[in-house]
């Protein structure tokens, strides 16, 4: 079953600032996650309700809303900044 990817406005604005080659890679990863959001790594500690998926230089932090078949993107950024 395919999940819907939800990008909040602040995430869309951030994506608009990313170089085209990285932007396209991130979009392809989002397509993969819409088919199987459980491919990502489940996080621990304070972020235990979220998953992380590595998209080359970037990490995508997201939450799976199983009942609604939604993947809510929480953050996209480079590894050093995304977990802050």
Asked if residue 84 belongs to a domain, the reply is no
**pLDDT tens digits along 53-77:** 998 889 999 999 999 999 999 999 9
In a domain, 83, yes or no: no
- For residue 36, give its domain range: 4-78
pTM, full prediction = 0.91
CB contact at 8 A, 72 and 38: no
Is 43 part of any domain? yes
Write down the pLDDT at residue 79. 80
Residue 15 lies in a domain: yes
Count up the domains in the chain and report the number.
1
Task: CATH number of the domain at 44, please.
Answer: 3.30.2310.20
Q: Tell me if 19 is assigned to some domain.
A: yes
């Amino acid at each position: 079953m395919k999940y819907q990817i939800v990008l909040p406005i602040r995430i869309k604005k951030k994506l608009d600032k990313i170089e085209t080659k990285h932007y396209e890679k991130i979009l392809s990863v989002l397509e993969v996650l819409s088919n199987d959001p459980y491919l990502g790594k489940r996080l621990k500690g304070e972020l235990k309700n979220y998953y992380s998926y590595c998209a080359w230089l970037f990490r995508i932090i997201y939450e799976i809303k199983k009942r609604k078949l939604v993947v809510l993107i929480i953050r996209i950024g480079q590894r050093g900044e995304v977990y802050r």
